[in-house]
Amino acid sequence: MRIRIAQLCVRQAMAANKERVLAVLESARHSEWVVFPEGVLSGYFPDSDEYLKNLDADAIEWGIHEIQREVERRQCNCLFGTATFTNGKWQNSVVLLSSSGERYTYHKIGLSALDRKHFTPGAKTTPYSVGDLKIGIQVCRELLFPQSWIDLKTEGAQVVFHINNAIKPHDQVWEHVLIARAVEHGIFVCSVNNGSHPQTLASYLIAPSGKVILRTETQQDQILSAEISLSEVIADLTRRTDY
């Protein structure tokens, strides 16, 4: 399994964000998983009272459609964050697009105080099956709530994609939590952060052993990729022998 971290600086202009996502996908490999930050399509600026007023739900949906066409053309898989508008409510979402045309949408449950000014929370954390692979999705501060990670592991998740927008200086401590989540559950953790200033927390791909396979530089666009072997995932944690 090949994973590509696409750490981008999230901008306010949705059209510009979409073009940068499409540009990354142009070089995606067959069956590769390409992963982007929280809010990378719509933009993510919940500290602004005008945030939702500046969003166009139809344009966002068309942007998702264009990204899906490129994913199917490249025969890759993709996860990216965006605000979405469904049934009269805005949600902070992650869209999962597979090479076979599947589309899943996870809505962030653990909303921050700023999120709650704009978004309705999602209802359930559950893994998604894509072929023989089971993946989990978590967003930003959901990293800090162990139960959702336990639930994903219990239901068979092998990789958890953590779609992030944690750019305050004190967020750097989350690196240790990301490593802990990988080790305690025996899974791969891929965390992709917004690269905008003043980011100090990088983006990561972490093995079940806790080894950091990929770590980006901060405060910049950066694309990194690596192959992983799902045989390293530890289904029965009572039998792990690497410590």
Is 236 inside any structural domain? no
Total domains in the fold of the chain = 1
Residue by residue, pLDDT tens for the chain (243 residues) are 999 999 999 999 999 999 999 999 999 999 999 999 999 999 999 999 999 999 999 999 999 999 999 999 999 999 999 999 999 999 999 999 999 999 999 999 999 999 999 999 999 899 999 999 999 999 999 999 999 999 999 999 999 999 999 999 999 999 999 999 999 999 999 999 999 999 999 999 999 999 999 999 999 999 999 999 999 999 887 666 666
Is 189 inside any structural domain? yes
Is 235 inside any structural domain? no
Three-class SS state of 17 = helix
User: Is the bond into 198 cis (omega within 30 degrees of 0)?
Assistant: yes
Other beta carbons less than 10 A from residue 11's beta carbon: 17
DSSP string, 75-89: T-EEEEEEEEEETTE
Is 243 inside any structural domain? no
Distance of CA 214 to the CA centre of its chain: 15
Model pLDDT, residue 240: 67
Is 135 inside any structural domain? yes
Model pLDDT, residue 238: 65
Is 234 inside any structural domain? no
Is 237 inside any structural domain? no
Q: What are phi and psi of 89, to 5 degrees?
A: -140, 145
Residue 187: CATH number of its domain: 3.60.110.10
Model pLDDT, residue 239: 64
Is 58 inside any structural domain? yes
Rounded to two decimals, the pTM is 0.97
Model pLDDT, residue 14: 97
DSSP string, 174-199: HHHHHHHHHHHHT-EEEEE----TT-
Model pLDDT, residue 236: 82
> In the numeric block, which tokens belong to residue 185?
């559950």
Cα dihedral 89→90→93→97 (10° resolution): 70
Domain that holds residue 209: 2-229
Model pLDDT, residue 225: 98
Model pLDDT, residue 52: 95
